[in-house]
A and B are shown apart, each in its own frame.
Chain A
Amino acid sequence: MARQLEGSRAVAETVARCRPEVVCAYPISPQTHIIERLSTLVGAGQLAPCEFLNVESEFAAMSVCIGASAAGARSYTATSSQGLLFMIEAVYNASGLGLPIVMTVANRAIGAPINIWNDHSDAMAVRDAGWVQLFAETNQEAADLHVQAFRLAEQLSLPVMVNMDGFVLTHAFEEVDVPAQEAVDSFLPRYEPRQVLDPAAPVSIGAMVGPEAFSEVRYLAHVKQLQALDAIEEIASEFASAFGRRSGGLVSSYRSEDARTVVVALGSVLGTIKDTVDELRASGQRVGVVGIGAFRPFPAAAVRHALERAERVVVVEKALAPGAGGILAHDLSTALSGLPLDVHCVIAGLGGRAITKASLLELLGDADAGQLESLRFLDLDRSLVQGELARMAAVRRSGPTAENVLRDAGVVAARLS
């Protein structure tokens, strides 16, 4: 039954219906509402049997999940931004050990400068950590993806990260149909671990592996990710027939069949992009959208299939690889290599800057006119940048950049548009 719910609450209630046995977390905005709700559900006995642990750091949170998962318990945590980086050694370890932990990442920028608002820097920082990375476009999808995530993780013995945009989704109230308990129960079988710490059948897990076998073990991790490409699609289809709505999957296309220009993006910004595309379509422009639902494994074949008829691909991404440019755009270019189309990378929405329809319209107008560079920073205030560059050229001790720019901008709070 659909209800008006905060995204975090919808996710927490869905996670609870997946019956995790160990939930462990450390608070960080904008993830907090998810774990607060789970803590309440466990405390009230509405999620049982389940151990909820308040730990002293994200590193401990992921480590507790590692121990719990290795002991055969369905394990869950959630974090954001600095928290994800704080746990990164354990994030790699969880996938290296093949433990099917599910983690929500309420996507947020990474400091310095410290910034609590949404972008995808956190998820991108762990893109090579061996986790499956799913991205939700809406809160309904965020909720649904968690049911699919547990299924996928346990099927493949691989941890799965569900990314949902911080604040934009986590704190937004909208109608969500939280998957019903009976439906989740029949969709999600009991967790049968491939490896487990069991006094009745002792095994050693986590041994040292040298050059004689390391490549093979790593290659098997790659194979598992490739298996996930099929499994993600299968699970999404099964979910659609079980729950009567489509969520997840590798890629989603919107009005892109005959499109000359296709915009590619991850997460909630797809909504704004679709609105923009509708407007442009109304004026006769052939534009479309492709959303990437799974960033890891990277769905190269599906992406290629979805984009091969386009003349131009505009990747709008909320992360930056300083000194290189886009991250999604780079993976996309590799997937599209050899095709006669141009890939443009647009860095947008960093640290919570709103990606507005007006800006997107201008952007796509430029693209249509052949005036879009291969790398563009959407809505960048060049005068602020020039001011700081000039200051640095003028004096050696020019001071801290972030504070200088803030002072020049003359605003205290985050500039949202």
Chain B
Amino acid sequence: MGYRAVRFYQTGSFAVGNRLVGSEDRSVQSATRRNNSLSSGHRACQGCGEALGARYVLDAAMEATAGQMVAVNATGCLEVFSTPYPETSWRVPWLHSLFGNAPAVATGVAAAFKAKGRTDVRVVGQAGDGGTVDIGFGCLSGMFERNDDVLFVCYDNEAYMNTGVQRSSATPPAARTATTEAIGDALGNAFGQGKNLPLLAVAHEIPYVATATISELHDLEYKVHRAMTMRGARYLHVFVPCPLGWGSATHDTVRLARLAKETGLFPVFEAEHGEITGVAKIRRRLPVEDYLRLQGRYRHLFEPVARPDVVARIQQLADRNIRRFGLLDGDAENDGHGGACSSPDAARTGEPAP
């Protein structure tokens, strides 16, 4: 489904409701025929963003591939909570090998089906941010560079959650984790470190790179569909709040994902072959404080001593994203499906990828 201007928004959420779009444009999630790729009964925490993200992504991918799909999973929360022996929540063929090798395992699955002439069977690899940005990065970069026919999905909850919330190189500045405590002079994770994997993926000039959040379902599903229309290496980076690791209320998971996008802290964009082709505009710009205040991992910025200076630095990061990706301008393009990316106009939307 392509972009189309839809001018009705539900009040409050700013998301397009299914009721307001034609039946052909309704989300896969809202359909009774959805696959339920990650079925209920798993052991994720209440309000787990990763569980939502994985079901959204795999259901959309199953729809796009008419069920001819295999999923490969890295070690991490998603793997552990979905397959407590002897039960499994997966309603797709599913393989877990190790923490750091999911992209290569996915490559192997794709190679096997190719050798067997089964090009109809598609492969999705998935991992948390640690399994993608850190320990799996070598394998991921190799998979990108060879342009293997794999969609790799990172569920980014910004830390090593499965082992008890330690810092990963996707942990944002000032966030408290079990290894970046706000003690002494430290104010959580350091500024100026970490990896921006979506942009690193763009730099590999693979056919498709996109970021998405679990708050914008239509956009997320659209991107999965788009990815599945292509061959070669594709990368989808999904922002998935984690109530346990972030110290947030379980009912705020979707709200936090929306705030990450609306503050500019998490730029939602698409790129093809190394060029940014679309960005999801911010509908109503909000200060980062609205986002930070909902999370225990940033509490030290507000109490016992308020640190407006640190909050201001985080605001600068958001402002930089807004400038860099052109998240505010071009209102005319601002209304895709459910807050989807605007139509391609990378030249105008700011700096290209590094």
A binds B: yes
A279 at the interface (CB under 8 A from B): no
Nearest CB on B from A110, distance (A): 21
B109 close to A63 (CB less than 8 A)? no
A71: which of B68, B92, B112, B142 is its contact (CB, 8 Å)? Answer: B112
A319 at the interface (CB under 8 A from B): no
B146 close to A53 (CB less than 8 A)? yes
A67 close to B114 (CB less than 8 A)? no
Hey, which chain A residues are within 8 Å of B90, CB to CB?
A: 202, 204
A56 close to B139 (CB less than 8 A)? yes
Q: Which of A206-214, A267-275, A386-394 contacts B (4 or more CB under 8 A)?
A: A206-214
A206: which of B96, B104, B107, B109 is its contact (CB, 8 Å)? Answer: B96
Nearest CB on B from A143, distance (A): 23
A61 to B139, CA, bound (A): 10
- Given A71-B70, A199-B69, A57-B138 contact (CB < 8 Å): yes
Instruction: Specify the chain A residue showing the minimal Cβ separation from B62.
Output: A199
A205 close to B109 (CB less than 8 A)? no
Nearest CB on A from B307, distance (A): 40
B316 at the interface (CB under 8 A from A): no
B145 close to A56 (CB less than 8 A)? yes
- Dominant secondary structure of chain B at its interface with chain A: mixed
Residue with the highest number of chain A CB atoms closer than 10 Å, among B79, B84, B113, B115: B115
B141 at the interface (CB under 8 A from A): yes
A199: which of B70, B114, B138, B142 is its contact (CB, 8 Å)? Answer: B70
Q: How many residues of B contact A (CB 8 A)?
A: 45
A70 at the interface (CB under 8 A from B): yes
A65: which of B85, B108, B141 is its contact (CB, 8 Å)? Answer: B108
- Given A63-B139, A199-B69, A204-B105 contact (CB < 8 Å): no
Interface residues of B in 127-149 (CB under 8 A from A): 138-139, 141-142, 145-146
B141 close to A22 (CB less than 8 A)? no
A381 at the interface (CB under 8 A from B): no
- Given A202-B94, A210-B85, A59-B101 contact (CB < 8 Å): yes
B200 at the interface (CB under 8 A from A): no
Interface residues of A in 63-107 (CB under 8 A from B): 63-73, 75, 89-90, 93, 97
Hey, which chain A residues are within 8 Å of B85, CB to CB?
A: 207-210, 212-213
A198 at the interface (CB under 8 A from B): yes
Residue with the highest number of chain A CB atoms closer than 10 Å, among B67, B92, B94, B142: B142
- Given A54-B146, A89-B98, A22-B111 contact (CB < 8 Å): yes
Hey, which chain A residues are within 8 Å of B70, CB to CB?
A: 71, 197, 199
Hey, what's the 0/1 contact readout for A194-228 against B, CB within 8 Å counting as 1? 00011101111111111011000000000000000
Instruction: Specify the chain A residue showing the minimal Cβ separation from B142.
Output: A56
Q: How many residues of A contact B (CB 8 A)?
A: 45
Instruction: Specify the chain B residue showing the minimal Cβ separation from A201.
Output: B93
Hey, which chain B residues are within 8 Å of A60, CB to CB?
A: 101, 104, 107, 138-139, 142
- Given A56-B139, A60-B142, A73-B93 contact (CB < 8 Å): no
- Given A73-B115, A199-B69, A63-B98 contact (CB < 8 Å): yes
Nearest CB on A from B285, distance (A): 41
A406 at the interface (CB under 8 A from B): no
Hey, which chain B residues are within 8 Å of A213, CB to CB?
A: 85-86
Interface residues of B in 224-238 (CB under 8 A from A): none
Interface residues of B in 46-97 (CB under 8 A from A): 67-70, 72-73, 79-80, 83-86, 88, 90-97
Instruction: Specify the chain B residue showing the minimal Cβ separation from A70.
Output: B95
A266 at the interface (CB under 8 A from B): no
A71 to B98, CA, bound (A): 16
A54 to B139, CA, bound (A): 12
B93 close to A49 (CB less than 8 A)? no
B106 at the interface (CB under 8 A from A): yes
A51 close to B117 (CB less than 8 A)? no
B111 close to A206 (CB less than 8 A)? no
B121 at the interface (CB under 8 A from A): yes
B97 close to A206 (CB less than 8 A)? yes
B116 at the interface (CB under 8 A from A): yes
Residue with the highest number of chain A CB atoms closer than 10 Å, among B91, B92, B108, B138: B108
- Given A60-B142, A199-B70, A67-B80 contact (CB < 8 Å): no
B92 close to A67 (CB less than 8 A)? no
B67 close to A67 (CB less than 8 A)? no
A67 to B101, CA, bound (A): 10
A68 close to B112 (CB less than 8 A)? yes
A67 close to B95 (CB less than 8 A)? yes
Residue with the highest number of chain A CB atoms closer than 10 Å, among B70, B88, B91, B109: B109
A212 to B87, CA, bound (A): 13
5 CB contacts below 8 A, A to B, read: A22-B115, A61-B104, A63-B101, A70-B108, A71-B108
8 additional contacts (CB under 8 A) given A21-B112, A60-B101, A199-B92: A22-B108, A49-B116, A49-B117, A55-B104, A55-B142, A59-B101, A67-B110, A203-B94
Q: Which A residues fall within an 8 A CB radius of B?
A: 21-22, 24, 49-51, 53-57, 59-61, 63-73, 75, 89-90, 93, 97, 197-199, 201-210, 212-213
Q: Which B residues fall within an 8 A CB radius of A?
A: 67-70, 72-73, 79-80, 83-86, 88, 90-98, 100-101, 104-117, 121, 138-139, 141-142, 145-146
